[in-house]
């Protein structure tokens, strides 16, 4: 199986789009756990007389998948609402909000790195970091 197929399947499932899995009869199992998603198996023989039977079945399968109100995984897990992309009223404000959030993240990372550095220094040079009360603090 092609990894791109599973990537595309993941996108379709995430966006609650119809899914029509198809495999030939020579493929024993579809890798990955897609047991919740129905799969149409067609005869891998591909001889002209088998094609005449297989094409209408495949057409029906794909048409039915296109009519799904909700894909099988969403139904199974009871997911009912799609995410809605927000559209800011003010694009400049949205950019500023994004930048403020990024600066906040950088501060958290810097603070964690600083604390880790101080702990390493305390372990490496314990004499430089007295643990008792400081002179004049009490």
Please tell me whether residues 7 and 72 are part of one structural domain: yes
Rounded to two decimals, the pTM is 0.48
pLDDT at 132: 57
- Exposure string of 126-135, with b = 16+ CB inside 10 Å and e = fewer, is eeeeeeeeee
In a domain, 84, yes or no: no
Please tell me whether residues 51 and 25 are part of one structural domain: yes
Count of structural domains, the chain:
2
Of the ranges 13-17, 28-32, 34-38, 62-66, which one carries the lowest mean pLDDT score? Answer: 34-38
- What is the C-alpha to C-alpha distance for residues 43 and 52, in angstroms, rounded to an integer? 11
Full residue range of the structural domain in which residue 12 is found: 3-77
Please tell me whether residues 57 and 9 are part of one structural domain: yes
Please tell me whether residues 71 and 9 are part of one structural domain: yes
15-81-62 Cα angle (round to 5): 45
Please tell me whether residues 8 and 70 are part of one structural domain: yes
Please tell me whether residues 9 and 73 are part of one structural domain: yes
Per-residue pLDDT tens digits for 60-109: 988 888 888 887 778 878 888 776 666 768 888 888 888 888 888 888 88
Contacts with 52 (C-beta within 8 Å, 6 or more apart), sequence order: none
Confidence of residue 1 (pLDDT cuts 50, 70, 90): low
């Amino acid at each position: 199986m092609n990894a791109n197929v599973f990537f595309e399947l993941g996108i379709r499932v995430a966006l609650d789009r119809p899914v029509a899995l198809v495999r030939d009869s020579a493929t024993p199992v579809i890798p990955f756990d897609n047991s919740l998603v129905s799969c149409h198996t067609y005869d891998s023989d591909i001889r002209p007389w088998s094609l005449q039977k297989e094409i209408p079945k495949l057409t029906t399968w794909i048409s039915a998948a296109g009519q799904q109100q909700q894909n099988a995984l969403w139904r199974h897990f009871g997911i009912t609402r799609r995410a809605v992309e927000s559209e800011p009223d003010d694009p400049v404000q949205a950019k500023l909000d994004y930048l403020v959030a990024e600066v906040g993240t950088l501060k958290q990372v810097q603070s964690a790195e600083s604390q880790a550095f101080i702990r390493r220094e305390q372990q490496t040079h314990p004499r430089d970091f007295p643990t008792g009360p400081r002179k004049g603090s009490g």
